[in-house]
Chain A
Amino acid sequence: MLNRYPLWKNLLILLVLVIAGIYAAPNLYPEDYAVQVSGTREAYTVDSALMSRLEQDLEKAGVAYKAAELNDGTGLIRFADGDAQLRAKDMIADELGGNYVVALNLAPTTPEWLSDIGAGPMKLGLDLRGGVHFLLEVDMAQAVGQRLDVYVSDIKGQLRDERLRYRQVEHLDDGRLSVRFADAETRDQAEDLLRGNFPEFLTETDDTEEGNFVYINLSEQTIREIEDYAVKQNLTTLRNRVNELGVAEPLVQRQGRNRIVVQLPGIQDAAAAKRIIGKTANLEFRLEAKPDESRANTEVYPFRTTPGRTAELERDIIITGSNVANAQASFDENGQPQVNITLDGKGGQMMSRVTRNAIQRRMAVLFVEHKSRMVEQRVDGETVEKRVPYTEKGIISLATIQSTLGNSFRITGLESSQESSELALLLRAGALAAPIYFVEERTVGPSMGAENIKMGVTSVQIGFALVLAFMLLYYRVFGLLANVALTLNLVLLVAVMSILSATLTLPGIAGIVLTVGMAVDANVLIFERIKEELKNGMPVQSAINAGFSRAHTTILDANITTLLAAVILFAMGTGPVKGFAVTLSVGILTSMFTAILVTRALVNLAYGGRTLKKLGL
């Protein structure tokens, strides 16, 4: 029994460790405080001219910066401390105005040769970095309801085109549509027509004294599609809004069937973020009703700013906020806030077509907001809280059309400059396809994040030091070897986390601490086994070999079951818990590698290939 690894095996282990060392290295470089500048749209890109202008401005203002760089149309200016970063951000934001997004960021300082091979530091979770986490729920009933409303007008149009006379088309509260006819024959013709034109309809007929009805249900698949569309549309809109907010490295992701996660790391003004993200403001442009207009075609709305004043508007909507191509907040001649609006092609056409025939009539701009309130309801004797959505519409301006409107004009009548800039932002980012509600929110202040890192690192250090000391005292030379393996395990763990660009959270750090404690287990198992074999009178080299090989099964079984638990934790956990599961799983795998292979290699190097009477164990 020689206990020597062939050269290739030693080299392979060494290679793995060297690679691990390289990929773990970026975590040693502290991140820079940085300000990130990017354009909001094609017309406003960040170029080197703009960057040098900013650099000059910073120099003039006496704000020291470390470096300024330009990557793919995004400018990054690095600072030595947070103070300079904040001052510079305010300055740059003032300078550039609303066409550029200016965001605070932490920029990695990974040396170029490392980032060239794809190495980078671990990402820090919100609990370590500070920031906001939202879980939003998309109101699916509303999304389907909105689509049903569209169907109502589609059905009316088709029946009219085919000259089938209907009495009424209604969107019922139970989520069905009902179409009422005067006689069964027309009803049957209409049913055939609708089934042909709308394959997604499931129809039923019913004859009562009130008339002959067709009831329409949507197929399950169609409802799924509508819901899916609503979530995807909302994801896009939320991404746009988050981009407008100027957050570096935001995360907007679907979770489950009807939820969306939004994470904004390092954000300073959480309240503003919440206001913008949850807002469902939109605009509607309508003509004021003519005095002789039938009541069925008009609706009365109040003015937002003057209580008590109302106006009667036509039911038909000329265009909505979704036809807006660009919107910028500014001030009018009198210093009142206004929003300059540019319509897209279709919106511009609609607007000029309608306004051409309506000169000297008045046009209203309606501000539409979807809101919800919690109402207590009694269901089966139990009080449950139910969310009841409602829509608030108010007129913000009613002005006489002087001439045909084209695709760009301005609206006034807003309450404050904050409202005008938020409205402009919302119009640019697009409306939400269905209302969303906050179901979870976590905000962590930046100083708390820093504190969490400090505490996490301290406990890793202390725990690690205690284990190292104990192993050294108890197993002496073998303990030293195990300690080397344990240290390498930590390096390997960090490297794998960095390569996977996994997110490190506070429970994740706890997972590392736990891994440190548990990683020695495999070595303890092996060493105890060697001791035992020695006591049974086995020669030293055979005992070492037997110790390693007999402990294998146990180590494997024990680790696989722990891994099972960790994988389940990962699958069902969210956020921070997932972080724990990741470090735990990775830690189990790396510790198996180091405890079995690395320790063995070290023991072989130290003791292998020679005759020994005693062992320092």
Chain B
Amino acid sequence: MSKTKKIYNFMGPRKIMAAFSIILLLVSIGSLAVNGLKFGLDFTGGSLVEIGYQQPADLGKIRQSMENAGYPDVTVQTFGAATDVLIRLGETHDPKLGDTILASLQADEPDQTLELRRNEFVGSQVGEELREQGGLGMLLALAMIMLYLAFRFQLKFSIGAVLALVHDVIIVLGLFSILQLEFDLTVLAAILAVIGYSLNDTIVVYDRIRENFRIMRTETPVEVMNSSLSQTLSRTLMTSFTTLLVLMALAIFGGTTIFGFAVALLAGIGIGTYSSIYVAANLLLLLKVQREDLIPPPKEETEVDDMP
């Protein structure tokens, strides 16, 4: 750390940054409208069989033998490793499906023992319910957070924080849509975690803004924002960095099943860090936050001091 307290002019390029955010949002929404999300089995319903080979599998041959076995409309792909094959089928449920497929593929490979690693079936109705529930859960989370912040801070802060969250969520969804990464239940969980995390960041910044508004009596709101952001910058970067570190570990070593989860969190925390600096504070300025908004000062400082 430098010895002198340096204040960066974060709010200087705020119009450029706003434009940048808007472009990201438009691209994301555009892609979501055109490409949509590639929903996983959890949300679409259907069947999935994962088979472990001992030697790298020949996907063409598998497709052929699946067709011969009477499953013409299947997707066959490797999953994580060349020896791991994922087969997706339509919606009807057959309790023997996994074993039938294993048996017919095993017949083609007399030299190696295949293994049924995973067999999943989700009814289309269940999938639909999950999709609705997921959307509802996200909205509910945002509403609760907005309420809590309006109570703890002030309405303008609450609107700013929630809009920043919406910004983050849309961009992460947009990323999944553009890259056509599979969107399953764990990714949804990751996005809710991003909401929690990114909020964490925003609140730290807002907390400082609130504090500085009370201390810095003569400065303009822009100056208050700049010093608050500069003061919290190293903390914001530090925490994001450690979290990104562990998420990298998760993405690289955690296996294919939670890769999507790790990617959603990586992207979400990246964009969340950016948004807590540029979007959250920027929105406060847009909402014309005033020193008067924070008067009378809330009493929680004394309350918290009572805590151990």
Interface residue ranges of A238-288 to B (CB < 8 Å):
270-271, 274-275, 278
Question: Of B98, B207, B234, which contacts A557 at CB under 8 A?
Answer: B207
Return chain B residues, CB-CB under 8 Å to A225. none
Known A452-B255, A507-B261, A513-B246: A565·B204 in contact at CB below 8 Å: no
Known A462-B253, A517-B243: A443·B119 in contact at CB below 8 Å: yes
A531 is an interface residue with CB less than 8 A from chain B: yes
Known A518-B200, A558-B203, A581-B189: A553·B304 in contact at CB below 8 Å: yes
B3 lies within 8 A of A553 (CB): no
CB distance from A53 to the nearest CB of B (A): 35
A517 lies within 8 A of B242 (CB): yes
A552 nearest CB neighbor, chain B only: B304
Return chain B residues, CB-CB under 8 Å to A278. 95
CB distance from A386 to the nearest CB of B (A): 11
A564 lies within 8 A of B148 (CB): yes
A441 lies within 8 A of B93 (CB): yes
Selected interface stretch from A145-153, A164-172, A400-408, A464-472: A464-472
Encoded as 1 (CB less than 8 Å from any B CB) or 0, chain A from 515 to 528 comes to 01110110011001
Known A464-B246, A516-B246, A552-B304: A561·B196 in contact at CB below 8 Å: yes
B121 lies within 8 A of A452 (CB): no
B78 is an interface residue with CB less than 8 A from chain A: no
Encoded as 1 (CB less than 8 Å from any B CB) or 0, chain A from 446 to 467 comes to 0110011001101100111011
Interface residue ranges of A526-585 to B (CB < 8 Å):
528, 531-532, 535, 549, 552-554, 556-566, 568-569, 571-574, 576-577, 580-581, 584
Return chain A residues, CB-CB under 8 Å to B231. 532
A459 lies within 8 A of B120 (CB): no
Return chain A residues, CB-CB under 8 Å to B216. none
CB distance from A282 to the nearest CB of B (A): 19
A513 lies within 8 A of B207 (CB): no
Return chain B residues, CB-CB under 8 Å to A444. 117-118
Interface residue ranges of B191-214 to A (CB < 8 Å):
192-193, 195-197, 199-201, 203-204, 207-208
CB distance from B228 to the nearest CB of A (A): 12
B217 is an interface residue with CB less than 8 A from chain A: no
Return chain B residues, CB-CB under 8 Å to A564. 141, 144-145, 148, 196
A86 is an interface residue with CB less than 8 A from chain B: no
Question: Of A442, A451, A535, which contacts B120 at CB under 8 A?
Answer: A442
A455 lies within 8 A of B195 (CB): no
B225 is an interface residue with CB less than 8 A from chain A: no
**Cα distance A461–B52 in the bound complex, in angstroms:** 26
**Cα distance A518–B204 in the bound complex, in angstroms:** 13
B179 is an interface residue with CB less than 8 A from chain A: no
Selected interface stretch from B30-38, B129-137, B284-292: B129-137
Question: Of B118, B193, B245, which contacts A565 at CB under 8 A?
Answer: B193
**Cα distance A562–B136 in the bound complex, in angstroms:** 17
Known A448-B118, A463-B246, A520-B239: A562·B305 in contact at CB below 8 Å: no
Known A445-B116, A564-B148: A524·B235 in contact at CB below 8 Å: yes
A510 lies within 8 A of B234 (CB): no
A185 is an interface residue with CB less than 8 A from chain B: no
A556 lies within 8 A of B304 (CB): yes
Question: Of B189, B241, B305, which contacts A569 at CB under 8 A?
Answer: B189
A271 lies within 8 A of B95 (CB): yes
Most interface-central of A275, A470, A558, A573 (chain B CB within 10 A): A558
A524 lies within 8 A of B120 (CB): no
Interface residue ranges of B104-140 to A (CB < 8 Å):
115-126, 130, 133-134, 136-137, 140
Known A507-B186, A554-B204: A513·B250 in contact at CB below 8 Å: yes
B239 lies within 8 A of A462 (CB): no
Encoded as 1 (CB less than 8 Å from any A CB) or 0, chain B from 231 to 251 comes to 110110011011111111110
Return chain B residues, CB-CB under 8 Å to A385. 91, 124
Return chain A residues, CB-CB under 8 Å to B89. none
Return chain B residues, CB-CB under 8 Å to A569. 137, 141, 189, 192-193
**Cα distance A569–B195 in the bound complex, in angstroms:** 11
Return chain A residues, CB-CB under 8 Å to B295. none
Question: Of A452, A535, A558, A597, which contacts B3 at CB under 8 A?
Answer: A535
A466 lies within 8 A of B258 (CB): no
A279 nearest CB neighbor, chain B only: B95
Return chain B residues, CB-CB under 8 Å to A374. 92
A577 lies within 8 A of B189 (CB): yes
Known A439-B125, A517-B247: A566·B196 in contact at CB below 8 Å: yes
Return chain A residues, CB-CB under 8 Å to B91. 385
B1 nearest CB neighbor, chain A only: A531
**Cα distance A441–B235 in the bound complex, in angstroms:** 45
Return chain B residues, CB-CB under 8 Å to A571. 137
Beyond A271-B98, A443-B116, A459-B250: 11 further Cβ-contacts under 8 Å? A270-B119, A438-B123, A443-B118, A463-B245, A510-B262, A517-B247, A562-B196, A565-B199, A568-B144, A574-B185, A584-B193
- The list of the 6 closest CB pairs from A to B, nearest first, reads A463-B246, A517-B243, A562-B196, A439-B123, A565-B196, A274-B95
A-B CB contact pairs (8 Å), 28 listed: A274-B95, A439-B122, A439-B123, A441-B93, A441-B121, A444-B118, A445-B117, A447-B115, A452-B255, A456-B255, A470-B242, A471-B242, A517-B247, A521-B200, A524-B235, A528-B234, A535-B3, A553-B300, A564-B144, A565-B145, A565-B192, A565-B196, A568-B140, A572-B133, A572-B137, A573-B137, A576-B185, A596-B308
